[in-house]
Amino acid sequence: MASAFRLSLKPKVSDNMTHLMVDFSQERQMLQTLKFLPVPKAPEIDPVECLVADNAVTVTWRMPEEDNKIDHFILEYRKTNFDGLPRVKDERCWDIIDNIKGTEYTLSGLRFDSKYMNFRVRACNKAVAGECSDPVTLETKALNFSLDSSSSHLNLRVEDTCVEWDPTGGKGQESKVKGKENKGRSGTPSPKRTSVGSRPPAVRGSRDRFTGESYTVLGDTAIESGQHYWEVKAQKDCKSYSVGVAYKTLGKFDQLGKTNTSWCIHVNNWLQNTFAAKHNNKVKALDVTVPERIGVFCDFDGGQLSFYDANSKQLLYSFKTKFTQPVLPGFMVWCGGLSLSTGMQVPSAVRTLQKSENGMTGSASSLNIVTQ
């Protein structure tokens, strides 16, 4: 390269080299005027003030000392079957509700399919979230059951908490079984070897599937004590259905309400519309409108079975009896379907009505029978 294009730098040298220093005095002054927000302290949940009712949980907390810098709170919760403090092993992840402005929050519309729920809260200001509060465990126990498909009628298609009428359900399986029985022989199959006998044994002892005109399915969980509640919703085009309870000994040909071991209310929308309570083959016509959803209240110890409009909580009918055996939720469906809601607490309105009605109404006396 030509010497004219060469560049040489000759830095100026001094004792303190102040000419090469950057002046941060203004920035330093600004930083010194900043006031940083402290980390919020952990809130304290008051279990006494917390409320569990009507499938909702209200959690209340407070700060250990007043802090006007708090912007919002974060509530974390999870379901568990363990009492006491949360456990690390086999626990569910925390669900989070953010941006809560007050010191109280209500979780509503829950299904109580676990015995307990864990809760914890943390406070947040504009800068940072504080530590979580000590976790609190609240009891959320309720009756959970599914439909027992192992002994339901073959014409019923059962899935967990739904049941639908299926007119071809039994025919397909019976013909399939008969084909296996007749394979390799031309004679009439033995009456001892029927389609029912070829199926695996039912869960509850020796009783096989419901058959004949008993289009019935029972719940898979027996009620042996306490007060319980569940709801049933029928399809709009359902022609006939029954909702109630029955002993485990209900025969496979028996229909709900036609024996002294079952209690139900029956809705018929075929040919003529009828709404009635049934027990021991006795019928009591109900002069009320069939609700969209039916609530079932069973007080095993008090010997009471009541039916409600699930929306308005109007009492539809109440049986007064003495249960001498565990009972199972029972359902009959013909040309339609039902869906269940379980994991529900007894609603507060129902508890209030039970106290005021003292467990029975005057119109229910004709079917109130003590069954031994």
CATH number of the domain that residue 220 is part of: 2.60.120.920
Q: Give residue-wise pLDDT tens across range 167-184.
A: 998 664 444 434 444 444
Q: Please check whether residues 72 and 163 belong to one and the same domain.
A: no
User: How far apart are alpha carbons 278 and 317 in whole angstroms?
Assistant: 10
User: How far apart are alpha carbons 142 and 186 in whole angstroms?
Assistant: 55
Structural domain boundaries enclosing 132 = 44-139
Q: Please check whether residues 161 and 130 belong to one and the same domain.
A: no
Please, which contacts does 246-251 make with residues 24 or more away whose CB atoms are closer than 8 Å?
A: 246/218, 246/327, 246/328, 246/330, 247/325, 247/326, 247/327, 247/328, 248/204, 248/205, 248/207, 248/222, 248/325, 248/326, 248/328, 249/325, 250/216, 250/218, 250/330, 251/207, 251/214
- Looking up tokens 């126990």 gives 141
The neighbour count for residue 302, using CB atoms within 10 Å, is: 14
Specify the pTM.
Answer: 0.78
Mean pLDDT of 260-272: 94
User: How far apart are alpha carbons 303 and 322 in whole angstroms?
Assistant: 5
Gyration radius from the chain CA atoms: 34
Mean pLDDT of 78-86: 82
Distance between alpha carbon 356 and the CA centroid of its chain, in Å? 28
CATH number (domain holding residue 131) = 2.60.40.10
> How many domains, the chain?
2
User: Is position 363 within any domain?
Assistant: no
Residue 118: DSSP 8-state: E
Where is average pLDDT lowest: 54-63, 82-91, 138-147, 323-332? 82-91
User: Is position 176 within any domain?
Assistant: no
262 and 298 Cβ atoms separated by less than 8 Å: no
Q: Please check whether residues 158 and 307 belong to one and the same domain.
A: yes
Residue 7 confidence (pLDDT): 57
Q: Please check whether residues 266 and 319 belong to one and the same domain.
A: yes
User: Is position 13 within any domain?
Assistant: no
Indicate the burial class of 61 (C-beta count within 10 angstroms; 0-12, 13-18, 19 or more): buried
* pLDDT over 90 percentage in the chain: 67
Q: Please check whether residues 216 and 345 belong to one and the same domain.
A: yes
| Angle, alpha carbons 27-28-29 (nearest 5°) | 90
Whether the per-residue pLDDT at 369 is higher than 60: the answer is no
User: Is position 340 within any domain?
Assistant: yes
Q: Give residue-wise pLDDT tens across range 12-35.
A: 677 777 767 778 888 888 888 887
The neighbour count for residue 77, using CB atoms within 10 Å, is: 23
| Angle, alpha carbons 239-332-150 (nearest 5°) | 135
User: Is position 293 within any domain?
Assistant: yes
